Amino acid sequence: MKVDTGVNKDMDQVSADDQRALYYHLVKTRRFDERCRKLFKQGRFPGTYFSAVGQEATTVGPAYGLTKDDMIAPSHREIGAYVTKGMPLVALLRQMYARANSPDKGKSHPCHFGYPELAIFTPASTVAGQIVVGTGAALAYKIQKKPHVVLSFFGEGGSSRGGFHEALNFAGVHNLPIVYICQNNLWAESVPASLQSRVEKYSDRAKAYGFEGVTIDGNDLLLVHTAAKKAIAKAREGGGPTLIECLTYRWYGHSEIDPANYRTTAELESWKKRDPVELYSRHLERAGIMTLGEREETVMKVDAEIEEAIREAEASPHPRPEEALDDVYSFSPARNYEHPS
């Protein structure tokens, strides 16, 4: 694993209370994600589900400590960022279940989670599309002289798309308040990272756009959190963008309908030995911050929250057929459509 050794955990920056809170969000993300996989397999919601089990530290770490107006520009594997920023589990579930009281009223893909109340915008299906929109939001914050930053999430595969390069170039030129989090999980569906780019480290790409890039162990929660915290503070103070490449791994298929036969069991097993939850639990134990009993209590608490949210989501109403075309726009000349204005 080729990581930058200059990035320190700077443990003094993270209080014991914050470290306990990070554990809460980490296990909440893990338990919720595993539960959603099961719900999908039981046929309790349609479509598919994109698990991020194995890469939770890359989303929980950066999202912890954001202000309400700091924006999240998500991709399709950011359950941890939603949970940590405070999006209610029931809101996530209503989206998956396509219920009438989800933000898009049951019309979109189950993984198109958005939550405007917490400045989380809804990603499009087009890979990397949200990098461009997030960069636009950072420009808006700068023009409005607002003290907010944008966190833009994407995979290493997404970084091969044109929008990624245009957005990062633009952010560099205009010194925008944005932090780019590249979750390099070695695979983009069945395409290995080695076929995406010849660069040794994806973070090297930041050099071309005139700002700092670092590659870190994305399974080390405290390391990801402190690296992101530093980059966020820098962006907030007018220091411009940073690209953080987090090396990590997804344990399951691209989505729940992918058996992931393209990778070896040995590769998967080697990453499972670096389970971010296990690594962080060991740290908390060693540092005397949380005992096994306290950690078990946290797991029981999050499990109860999850079950309550599932009950509430499953009791939510379905959209009515007559609402199917509400909020749907079409400007197709072929249909002889006249714009109302």
Ligand X SMILES: Cc1ncc(C[n+]2csc(CCOP(=O)(O)OP(=O)(O)O)c2C)c(N)n1
Task: Write out the residues near Mg ion by the rule CB under 5 A.
Answer: 155-157, 185, 188
For residue 183, give the amino acid letter: Q
Name the residue nearer to ligand X (CB basis): 108 or 183: 183
Q: Does residue number 185 form part of the binding site for ligand X (CB under 6 A)?
A: yes
Question: If contact means CB under 5 to 8 A according to the sort of partner, which of Mg ion, ligand X, none does residue 64 touch?
Answer: none
Name the residue nearer to Mg ion (CB basis): 44 or 165: 165
Of 93, 300, 271, 96, nearest in space to 187 by CA = 271
Question: If contact means CB under 5 to 8 A according to the sort of partner, which of ligand X, Mg ion, none does residue 30 touch?
Answer: none
Name the residue nearer to ligand X (CB basis): 134 or 157: 157
Neighbours of 241 (CB within 10 A): 30
Name the residue nearer to ligand X (CB basis): 44 or 263: 263
Q: Taking each helix axis as running N to C, give the angle between helix 162-173 and helix 129-143, from 0 to 180 degrees, rounded to the nearest 10.
A: 20
CA torsion sign, 225 to 228 to 230 to 236?
negative
Angstrom distance (rounded) from CA 141 to CA 143:
6
Minimum CB separation from ligand X for residue 70, in Å?
22
Angstrom distance (rounded) from CA 135 to CA 154:
13
Q: Does residue number 91 form part of the binding site for ligand X (CB under 6 A)?
A: no
CB 232 within 8 A of CB 59: no
Of 328, 295, 209, nearest in space to 27 by CA = 295
What backbone torsions phi and psi does residue 154 show, to the nearest 5 degrees?
Answer: -165, 165
Q: Does residue number 112 form part of the binding site for ligand X (CB under 6 A)?
A: no
Name the residue nearer to ligand X (CB basis): 27 or 193: 193
CB 118 within 8 A of CB 86: yes
Q: Which member of 78, 156, 220, 275 binds ligand X (CB under 6 A)?
A: 156
Angstrom distance (rounded) from CA 155 to CA 164:
11
Q: Does residue number 172 form part of the binding site for ligand X (CB under 6 A)?
A: no
Name the residue nearer to ligand X (CB basis): 103 or 157: 157
- Two tokens at 3? 């990581």
Minimum CB separation from Mg ion for residue 52, in Å?
11
Minimum CB separation from ligand X for residue 231, in Å?
20
- Two tokens at 96? 């998956």
Question: If contact means CB under 5 to 8 A according to the sort of partner, which of ligand X, Mg ion, none does residue 125 touch?
Answer: ligand X
Minimum CB separation from ligand X for residue 46, in Å?
18
Residue in the structure block whose two tokens are 């992918």: 258
- Two tokens at 173? 């030129």
Q: Taking CB under 6 A as the criterion, which residues in 242-271 touch ligand X?
A: 254
Question: If contact means CB under 5 to 8 A according to the sort of partner, which of ligand X, Mg ion, none does residue 283 touch?
Answer: none
Q: Taking CB under 6 A as the criterion, which residues in 20-39 touch ligand X?
A: none
Q: Which member of 115, 164, 187, 249 binds ligand X (CB under 6 A)?
A: 187
Question: If contact means CB under 5 to 8 A according to the sort of partner, which of ligand X, Mg ion, none does residue 158 touch?
Answer: ligand X
Q: Taking each helix axis as running N to C, give the angle between helix 292-314 and helix 16-41, from 0 to 180 degrees, rounded to the nearest 10.
A: 40
Q: Taking CB under 6 A as the criterion, which residues in 193-232 touch ligand X?
A: none
Identify which range of 84-92, 109-117, 132-140, 150-158 contacts ligand X by CB under 6 A.
150-158
Sheet architecture: strand order including 178-184:
71-73, 150-155, 178-184, 242-247, 212-217
Site residues (vs ligand X, CB under 6 A): 76-77, 125-127, 154-158, 183, 185, 187-189, 254
